[in-house]
Structure 1
Amino acid sequence: MQQGRLLWMGKSQVGIYRMAVLPLPSYPEEGEMGGESYYDAVRQTQEFQKFNSIFLKTIDHMKELFNRVVMQNEEIDSDKAVKDVENVVSQSRNSLHILDMLQCMRRYDDETYVHSLNVALLSNVIGKLVFPSVSKEDLDSLTLSGLLHDIGKMLVPDEVLRKKDHLTISEFNVVKTHVLHGSNILAGMKGLDPRVAEVAMRHHERCDGSGYPGGWHREQITPFAKIVAIADTYDAMTSDRVYRKAICPFDVIHMFEREGLVKFEVEYLLPFLTTAVQAYMNAEVYLTTNEIGKVVMVNADELSKPIVKVGDTYYNLAKDHSISIDRMVD
């Protein structure tokens, strides 16, 4: 397929394509990376190393917080918890940059603390995208909701959470109790926005009624719970788990395009996906042709099928269905 130059230089002729609408991070160009992947090059920057350092310090603070709250029955210092997350946010330039940084953190295998901080950051991103005039109080409560959404997993047996094989029905039912544990831990805490406990209980509800614990539908689920549900699902699927490797982000985005429009709040999901996919611009990917290419353009109608450049050839994955992205070059 040699029509790439037409697509690249004459994009007015293929109007469904567009370049990223947010400024892309400035990192080494392809010829300057000395054989490293895009994400390896990013990890070498001082900017990422500072982000990484503050991120890991925040994880240490979270471990202390979770243990004090769950094991010692202490109250949550909401202001300090939010400030810790804000310190991480302050290391990024915009929402796209946060997503770019998080993609470089995918090597950390931690289903509780790293995941919770990621969900807090993603919830913060989504909140600002869909509610541009959101108050600081509401944004702080949303961010805290993302941070604490899985705190109930501290009371789920580790041998179930860390099991490498498929869970039995009874084991999955045990895992599902984390929403009840989380709500019970957070409900009634002094000075804690009640929406935080509500999110702990409802972040696995789905707009079509297929979620748990109550099988609630769209109109019953609060905005915060809908936002954290998107952040939680996206991060969980794009991260390594004890029972599987991380799923390719383009496969995850395709899942959201295929099923997410009925399971999640569309008004929140689409702005997030439109921003999230831009974090993969310039990233190297393995194609099903066994070639390595670079994502150079985004298809606004099919976000999961970008244009990929391999040498002088441009593959339009929205048009050529015989080729797809197999995985990211990490």
Structure 2
Amino acid sequence: MSIVDVKQLTVGAKLAEEVYTSLGGLLFTKGTALYEKELELLDVFMIDQVEIEDTEPEWPEPAEQQVAATAPIAANQSQSEKPAFQDTFDKATTSLRKLLQHVEGGSNIPVMDVREVISPLLEQFSEQPRVLLSLRGFSKADSYSYEHAVAVGMISYMIAKWMKIPEREWMQIALAGTLLDIGKTKIDRRILQKPGKLTDEEFEEIKRHTVYGYQLIRASHGLSEGVALAALQHHEREDGSGYPLGLSGAKLHLYSKITAVADVYHAMCSDRVYQKAKSPYVVAEQLMQDSFGKLDPQVVHTFIKGVTQFAVGTVVELSDGKLGKIVFTDSKHPTRPMIESGGTILNLVESRQLSIVKVIEN
């Protein structure tokens, strides 16, 4: 390999080592072929020299072929990942629905059965965490509550991993997310499924699902106190403005802080009766705002950093209607990446009037 000045690079040369920005963010991986777009990014980030492989460069294809070959990289990955993950996700949702219906009928929580349902999904999800940017594609309106339980469980699991919580707790945190709303099995379905506005009395009954859930989990074997407290406290907020007890941050269990972020993220990314799904990036920015008083800032920042680190190559729609591809995510501004659109690099940190309104699901 050779160290070469960027201005003297031959188009098509391949990197022999990874290239990082001055802030430590990964710009290009080893083996990346350097064409016009890559050379432009090296200039943008003021990188003067790179190490390249001592091989004959690959000459670029015609422009039309480059678009076809490079633009769908993320799409092809998603296509190979999504059907397999969708199948596992659907199976988990169907199985969980049956298990929770037994609880609704008066049975105890079948903890080991729930573990068996979510374990394959957690294993697969750990290998494909980029699906966090396209969870909307796995949702169906008629089974939202069960899909929400499965999704919150696996998101909570990933947050636990990213926060470097001891591995022995990961499954308990996943169960905490999955069983977060188990108390709703004790609430009249006519209230849960009411299409119009709830009365004050009905809303107070809905809020009691946190207490019902705590009681159900405490009565079950194989679930820790943290799982029970997550069910009780996941609607509490750092500033004491939540329910059912109005507790503030210092009094909230870590599991409740983690599951609260997972709960809000999936809910806002999903189509619901009274709310259309929002872009994961719009939701992430809302979470950042909520980290000032509502949600635990460490949990929020860890989650957003984790969910955006896989975004390079993802095709998105911007608020001005243009399509583009994420080419770089700055760890200091994870919700405002750099976008390649129409041959131009847009830095959303500088272009504050623009936002990512949709992640294109392929």
| Alignment correspondent of 2:143 | 110
Which residue of structure 2 aligns with residue 20 of structure 1? none
Task: Report the secondary structure of 1:88's partner residue.
Answer: helix
In the alignment of these two chains, the number of paired residues is 307
Q: State whether residues 327 and 340 of structure 2, in contact with CA within 8 Å, keep that contact through their aligned partners in structure 1.
A: yes
CA contact (8 A) 2:133 2:280 kept: no
**Which one of the candidate residues 12, 31, 45 is aligned to 2:68?**
31
What amino acid is the match of 1:299?
D
Residue 279 of structure 1, CA deviation: 4.1
- Gap change, CA 1:285 and 1:165, over 3 Å in 2: farther
> Residue 313 and residue 164 in structure 1: after superposition, are their counterparts in 2 closer, same or farther (change >3 A)?
farther
The residue that corresponds to 2:171 in the other structure is: 140
2:252 matched to which residue of 1? 221
* Higher mean displacement: 158-167 or 183-192: 158-167
| Cα distance in structure 1, aligned partners of 2:194 and 2:308 | 31
Match of 1:179 in 2: 210
Query: Is 2:316 the counterpart of 1:281?
Result: no
Q: Structure 1 length normalisation: TM-score?
A: 0.82
The residue number in structure 2 matching 1:310 is 341
CA contact (8 A) 1:299 1:318 kept: no
**Among 201, 205, 209, the residue aligned to 2:236:** 205
Shift of 1:165: 4.9
Letter in 1 for 2:158: V
Structure 1 residue 53, shift from structure 2 partner: 1.6
AA of the residue aligned to 2:105: M
Paired with 1:7 and 1:209, the residues of 2 have a C-alpha distance of 49
Residues 253, 97 of structure 1: alpha-carbon distance in 2 compared, 3 angstrom cutoff: closer
Q: Which AA in structure 2 matches 1:123?
A: S
2:103/2:185 contact within 8 Å kept: no
Q: In structure 2, list runs of 5 or more residues that go unmatched.
A: 1-36, 48-65
Q: Distance in 1 between matches of 2:202 and 2:43?
A: 55
Contact kept? 1:116, 1:147, Cα under 8 Å: yes
Compute the displacement of 1:316 (Å).
Answer: 1.1
Could you list the per-position Cα deviations for residues 203-245 of structure 1 after superposition, in whole angstroms to 9, with x for gaps in the alignment?
A: 1111111111111111100111111111111111111111121
Q: Using the alignment, how far apart are the partners of 2:140 and 2:311 within structure 1? A: 16
Cα 1:181/1:288, change in 2 over 3 Å:
same
Higher alpha-carbon deviation: 292-301 or 243-252: 292-301
Rg bigger for which structure?
Answer: 2
Once residues 247 and 101 of structure 1 are traced to their aligned partners in structure 2, the CA distance between those partners, rounded to angstroms, is 11
Aligned partner letter, 1:31: A
For 1:48, the equivalent position in structure 2 comes to 82
Change (3 A) 1:161 1:64: same
Unaligned runs of 5+ in 1: 15-28
Is 1:328 the counterpart of 2:359 in the alignment?
yes
- Counterpart CA distance in 1 for 2:279 and 2:130 is 19
1:5, 1:98 → 2: CA distance?
A: 26
Contact 1:48 1:101 in 2 (8 A): no
Give how far 1:144 is off: 0.9
> How is 1:49-198 mapped onto 2 (pairs within 5 angstroms)?
49-73=83-107, 75-94=108-127, 96-97=129-130, 99=132, 102=135, 104-106=137-139, 110-132=143-165, 134-136=166-168, 138-198=169-229
Amino acid of the structure 2 residue aligned with 1:68 = H
**Partner Cα separation in structure 2 for residue 42 and residue 5 of structure 1:** 21
- Whether the 8 Å CA contact 2:326–2:339 is kept in 1: the answer is yes
Match of 1:24 in 2: none
CA deviations over 1:23-43 (Å, ceiling 9, x no partner): xxxxxx96259x98956x455
Q: How far apart, in 2, do the equivalents of 1:104 and 1:10 lie?
A: 37
1:25 is matched with which residue? none
How high is the TM-score relative to the length of structure 2?
A: 0.75
1:103-143 CA-partner distances (Å, limit 9, x unpaired):
542456633110000011011101111125x142x222111
Q: In percent, how many aligned pairs have the same letter?
A: 27
Deviations, residues 260-315 of structure 1 (Å, cap 9, x unaligned) = 23222222221111011234432222222221112222132332222111121111
Per the alignment, in what secondary structure is the counterpart of residue 318 of structure 1?
A: coil
Letter in 2 for 1:312: G
Structure 2 residue aligned with 1:263: 294
The answer to whether the Cα contact below 8 Å between 1:96 and 1:278 also exists between their aligned partners in 2 is: no
| 1:139-179 C-alpha deviation (Å, 9 max, x unpaired) | 22111111101111223344443445554544433321211
Asked whether the equivalents of residues 99 and 279 of structure 1 are also in contact (C-alpha less than 8 Å), the reply is: no
**Pair 30,265 (structure 1): closer, same or farther in 2 beyond 3 Å:** farther
The 1:288–1:92 alpha-carbon spacing in structure 2 relative to 1, beyond 3 Å, is closer
